[in-house]
Amino acid sequence: MPINTIYILGFLALISLAGIAGMAYLVHRSFRAPRVPEQGDPGDHNLDFRQVWIPTAKGKRLFAWLLPATDKTAPSTGTLIMIHGWGGNAHFLLPLVRSFLNFGLDVLLVDARNHGQSDDDGHSSLPKFAADTSSAVDWLKQQSKHHGPVALFGHSLGGGAVLLAAAERSDISAVISLATFAHPTDMMRRFMKNARVPDLVAPLVLLYVEFIIGRRYDDIAPINTVGKVECPVLMVHGEADRTVPVADMKAIRDKYQGQTPKFEIIPNAGHTSVKRFEENSLVFLDFLETAGFGRQSTTEKPCDL
């Protein structure tokens, strides 16, 4: 092979490697979750709480608040583990907590890795959120005062995470998924469209991200994992959600029409309309009561996979 040809091929190879490295850098930069520390704590809302640290994968720790049920004269009827969405933290879901405490539940509010005050650990992803949720369940069950049933509550990416975590465990009694997407590729395509990522590049980004997170999109997509959860599931979505269109939840509802999951749409609620979700707290409480929670029921009813 002529020496000039070798130089040309080598030069083209370097350009290709530089392009790949550049794309990888941009992907990691674009999909890096913003870290927003908590602004205050439950004490600001006159709520009793205990700050705890929960061990998770790779020796990392999760920051969390553990809040006891309001009525101290009776044992709690279980614990609700709540996890935020992308770029959120435990404080975001705090306005929803009081109704659950009054209902008789203890609440554990968790920061996922790379969020709030939890440890850093590379990229964030739905599987990592699910692993952190599962670590919170494991930690809770090791506590001497918390042997009742466990329910999961997740918002947005956290909503997909609680479905994945519950699909892979046999000891969850109820799941509430709020404002989650149907499939990761749908969410990512919307993000890339808004970011004006070229159509020719988008498929490569999808392949690269799937490789990085180490799980097939179809295996972790809420539209698929919800069908693998055997305990009661409630999916709630804001009618005016512009981040994750309500059409995503309707697609999931259509797939499971007549089957176990329960679906509710909150009028005039956007993706982060915590106030509207709080005003409609009976949607959550009625579901939890039918799932076996409430003062009248203290028997654990885990999933039976």
For residue 190, the model assigns a pLDDT of 87
For residue 169, the model assigns a pLDDT of 95
Q: Which two tokens stand for residue 86?
A: 């992308």
For residue 304, the model assigns a pLDDT of 41
Find all residues with CB under 8 Å of 42, minimum gap 6, and list them: 48, 49, 65, 67, 94, 97, 109
Domain ranges of the chain: 1-30, 42-184+214-290
Q: Is 217 helix (H, G, I), strand (E, B) or coil?
A: helix
Strand-pair category, 174-178 with 233-238 = parallel
Residues in the chain where the model's pLDDT stays below 50: 6-28, 30, 296-305
Rg (the chain; Cα; Å):
21
- pLDDT per residue as tens digits for the range 140-184: 999 877 778 999 999 999 999 999 999 999 999 999 999 999 999
Cβ atoms of residues 146 and 118 within 8 Å = no
Q: Which two tokens stand for residue 28?
A: 């990691």
**How far is Cα 235 from Cα 222, in angstroms, rounded to an integer?**
10
**How far is Cα 197 from Cα 57, in angstroms, rounded to an integer?**
33
For residue 218, the model assigns a pLDDT of 96
Fold of 42-184+214-290: Rossmann fold (3.40.50)
For residue 192, the model assigns a pLDDT of 83
For residue 303, the model assigns a pLDDT of 45
Find all residues with CB under 8 Å of 137, minimum gap 6, and list them: 81, 150, 152, 165, 169, 171, 172
